[in-house]
Amino acid sequence: MNPTPVVFIHGVWLHALSWRPWDERFSSFGFTVRTPGWPGEPPTVAQARRQPRAELGLDALTEHYAGIVRSFDTPPVIVGHSVGGLIAQHLLGTNLGRAAVAIAPVPAGPVAWEPWPASLNAGLFRQVFANAVVEQESARLFERHVVPAPARLLTELSGGRHPRAAVDTGNTGRGPLLLISGQEDRLVPDSATRAVYKLYGDSTAVSSLKQFPDRAHSLVVDSGWRAVADYVLLWLAERGIRG
């Protein structure tokens, strides 16, 4: 039997290398892991900081990952953080992928949320992204991971009306979905993720919600990442999805 593939989609202000610990963890359980960057993403954080992708939008980003998911002979699990979580839900809703995990996902469709800042410095990152860790860890995370966000993408997300922000929450034929929130998240509040979860209430397809107390938007990269990763692995195993 071929190993189950997993495709990781990173979020705004992060680089594909932010998934490296997850790659190692999931690979150790037998999964075939892919952590593809966004279209045109340079191979390192330092290069990405020098080469902002101002014009990248949600259409190009979604199609990029749709093509990657379609390229597998075995439908992959899709794991996304932030805007990656929105894309994961969108793709699953179109019957792409075996299952999806949306971690602190940009809210889908009609769910209201506060627009994000146009850029992040170390202080703002500490305030809105890594607010649940100590100041020293926030500084390390900023230096190690943070890259500029495409201005076009932020504009499209802030409106909440872009077609790619819509998710087919009523699809009964899709694979299982896990939504994860951090209860101290200031960028995607726990209340917004819970509101999205309620949108799936009319579907008979599997939809799950896990809330992590005392965790913020940095929950996939900070020192508590493994607890989140291991919960995802357990949730997948309970649904018969293993590497």
- What average pLDDT does the segment 199-225 reach? 96
Size of the chain, expressed as the number of residues it contains: 243
Q: Which of 39-53, 104-118, 211-225 has the lowest mean pLDDT?
A: 104-118
**Pair of tokens at residue 215:** 């965790």
The CA distances from residue 55 to 25, 40, 148, 186, 193, in Å, are: 33, 11, 12, 26, 27
| 92-112 burial: b if 16+ Cβ within 10 Å, else e | bbeebbbbbbbbbbbbbbebe
- Residue 89 confidence (pLDDT) above 80: yes
Mean pLDDT over 90-99 rounds to: 97
Helices 151-159, 58-70: inter-axial angle, 10-degree rounding: 100
The pTM for the full model equals 0.96
One-letter-per-residue 3-state SS of 224-236: CHHHHHHHHHHHH
Q: Which residues contact 14 (CB under 8 A, 6 or more apart)?
A: 81, 82, 145, 146, 147, 221
Q: Token pair for residue 62?
A: 């979604």
Report the pLDDT averaged over residues 219-233: 98
Q: What is the mean pLDDT of residues 201-211?
A: 94
157 pLDDT tier (thresholds 50, 70, 90): confident
Confidence check: pLDDT of 48 > 90: yes
Q: Give the pLDDT confidence score for residue 117 in this predicted structure.
A: 83
Provide the CB-side half-sphere exposure for 122 (13 A, CA): 10
* Average pLDDT value for residue range 187-192: 95
Give domain 5-238's CATH superfamily. Answer: Alpha/Beta hydrolase fold, catalytic domain (3.40.50.1820)
Q: Residue 1 pLDDT more than 70?
A: no
What is the domain partition of the chain in residue ranges? 5-238
* Pairwise CA distance, residues 7 & 75, whole Å: 10
> Can you give the pLDDT at residue 147?
95
